[in-house]
């Protein structure tokens, strides 16, 4: 039984009708490969000066790049490798099994692939994902050691994400317990991505350009590469670093910081030869949390996570794509 989602069957009509389209995603040009600003978290424990410098460097990266990479983050390599091995095993299940409504006893739509609603080349993704809301984790089936490994990882990622969010808040004068009050380990989610080799890498993406719906995301990626971000109007590739986790600012931190920290559009390009894996931990507030800018005059209307998510779902249904924060501009 096939493990791959029916990409070809679902995308065939779009690929055929767009053969002569001028505006192709053209994802295979030579892109500049950049190293993200590197934040060494061990500097937080060196002394007050080094600590302050490290926090300021993180803030500067969130302002200028919306992305940075962290080393000495205290998440053991052994745990990251184990998570990847479990991730490989679960995606090796037949597609029919993965797409069952109660797969692993998770909620419907935890398993997702590509974009079955796509209407044009612009929103075709050649990837599959297991997007697990951590409030569902206790009822998830143990598949090999997947659930227990996710539980172990989510605890570390939650601790790390809260610390990063708090350091970033210091530069803006946001109160120290803001994240403790509005986020809980079960309000975040973990998205495990698999990017199978794609026969049409110049025609579509691994994952289409988007911003993340959260305060910040912690990404563990393998060495294949393919993550790109929009920097000064140009797409640039992120150089994989085996020692580092990638951190990016999400829409909620952009709104909370009143546009000071940037939720940057990013994407993953498709690769013809090599399969790629990544795991993104989305640090999110509870659904009821109302996000309001920390300074005035505010660029954005207040909105709850619930309202924001409902708006995304509406937009994805109508256009195949997320519109995002611009919907909430004042």
Ligand X SMILES: C=C1C[C@]23C[C@@]1(O)CC[C@H]2[C@@]12CC[C@H](O)[C@@](C)(C(=O)O1)[C@H]2[C@@H]3C(=O)O
Ligand Y SMILES: O=C(O)CCC(=O)C(=O)O
Round to whole Å and give the CA distance between 275 and 196: 5
Tell me which of ligand X, Fe ion, ligand Y, none is bound by residue 268, counting a contact when its beta carbon lies within the kind-specific cut-off of 5 to 8 angstroms.
ligand Y
Which residue, 212 or 222, has its beta carbon nearer to Fe ion?
Answer: 212
> CB 210 → Fe ion: shortest distance, Å?
6
Binding of residue 212 to Fe ion (CB under 5 A): yes
Q: For ligand Y, which residue of 191, 194, 262, 322 counts as binding (CB under 6 A)?
A: 191
Burial group, residue 57, by CB count within 10 angstroms (0-12, 13-18, 19+):
middle
Name 132's bridge partners: 190
Per the listing, tokens 């004042």 go with 330
Which residue, 54 or 204, has its beta carbon nearer to Fe ion?
Answer: 204
Name 234's bridge partners: 231
Which residue, 169 or 264, has its beta carbon nearer to Fe ion?
Answer: 264
Residues 212-271 that bind ligand Y (CB under 6 A): 212, 219, 221, 227, 266, 268
> CB 112 → ligand X: shortest distance, Å?
6
Binding of residue 211 to ligand Y (CB under 6 A): no
- Contacts of residue 154, defined as CB under 8 A and 6 or more positions apart, other chains included, come to 134, 137, 185, 188, 190, 281
CB of 299 closer than 8 Å to CB of 174: no
Binding of residue 154 to ligand Y (CB under 6 A): no
Of residues 122, 147, 194, 276, which has the active-site annotation?
276
E strand spans, the chain: 33-34, 38-40, 67-71, 111-113, 128-133, 189-195, 205-210, 216-221, 227-231, 234-238, 245-249, 266-269, 276-283, 290-291, 303-304
82 is annotated as an active-site residue: no
> CB 175 → ligand X: shortest distance, Å?
26
Round to whole Å and give the CA distance between 321 and 248: 20
Round to whole Å and give the CA distance between 322 and 135: 24
Binding of residue 251 to Fe ion (CB under 5 A): no
Q: How many helices (H) and strands (E) does the chain have?
A: 8, 15
Tell me which of ligand Y, Fe ion, ligand X, none is bound by residue 115, counting a contact when its beta carbon lies within the kind-specific cut-off of 5 to 8 angstroms.
ligand X
Q: Which residue is nearest to ligand Y (CB)?
A: 278
Q: For ligand Y, which residue of 161, 207, 208, 249 counts as binding (CB under 6 A)?
A: 207
Which residue, 86 or 212, has its beta carbon nearer to ligand X?
Answer: 212
Contacting positions for Fe ion (CB under 5 A): 212
Q: Which residues are the active-site residues?
A: 276
Contacting positions for ligand Y (CB under 6 A): 191, 193, 207, 212, 219, 221, 227, 266, 268, 278, 280
């Amino acid at each position: 039984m096939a493990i791959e989602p029916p990409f070809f069957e679902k995308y065939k009509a779009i690929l055929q009708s767009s053969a002569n389209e001028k505006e192709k995603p053209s994802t295979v040009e030579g892109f500049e490969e950049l190293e993200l600003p590197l934040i060494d978290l061990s500097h937080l424990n060196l002394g007050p000066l080094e600590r302050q410098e490290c926090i300021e460097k993180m803030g500067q990266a969130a302002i200028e790049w919306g992305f940075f990479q962290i080393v000495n983050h205290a998440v053991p390599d052994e745990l990251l490798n184990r998570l990847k091995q479990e991730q490989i095993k679960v995606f090796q299940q037949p597609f029919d099994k993965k797409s069952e409504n109660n797969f692993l006893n998770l909620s419907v739509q935890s398993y997702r692939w590509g974009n079955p609603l796509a209407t044009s080349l612009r929103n075709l993704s050649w990837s599959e994902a297991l997007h697990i809301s951590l409030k569902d984790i206790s009822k998830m089936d143990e598949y090999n050691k997947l659930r227990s490994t996710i539980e172990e990882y989510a605890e570390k990622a939650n601790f790390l994400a809260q610390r990063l969010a708090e350091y970033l808040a210091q530069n803006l004068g946001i109160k120290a317990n803001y994240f403790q009050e509005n986020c809980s380990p079960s309000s975040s989610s973990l998205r495990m991505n698999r990017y199978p080799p794609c026969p049409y890498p110049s025609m579509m993406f691994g994952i289409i350009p988007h911003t993340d719906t959260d305060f910040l995301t912690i990404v563990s990626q393998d060495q294949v590469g393919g993550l790109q971000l929009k920097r000064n109007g140009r797409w640039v590739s992120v150089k994989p670093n085996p020692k580092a986790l990638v951190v990016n600012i999400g829409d909620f931190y952009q709104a909370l910081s009143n546009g000071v920290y940037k939720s940057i559009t990013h994407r993953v390009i498709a690769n013809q030869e090599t399969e790629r894996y990544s795991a993104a931990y989305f640090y999110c507030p509870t659904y009821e949390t109302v996000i309001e800018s920390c300074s005035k005059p505010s660029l954005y209307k207040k909105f709850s996570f619930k309202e924001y998510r409902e708006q995304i779902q509406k937009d994805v249904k109508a256009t195949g794509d997320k519109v995002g924060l611009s919907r909430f501009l004042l």
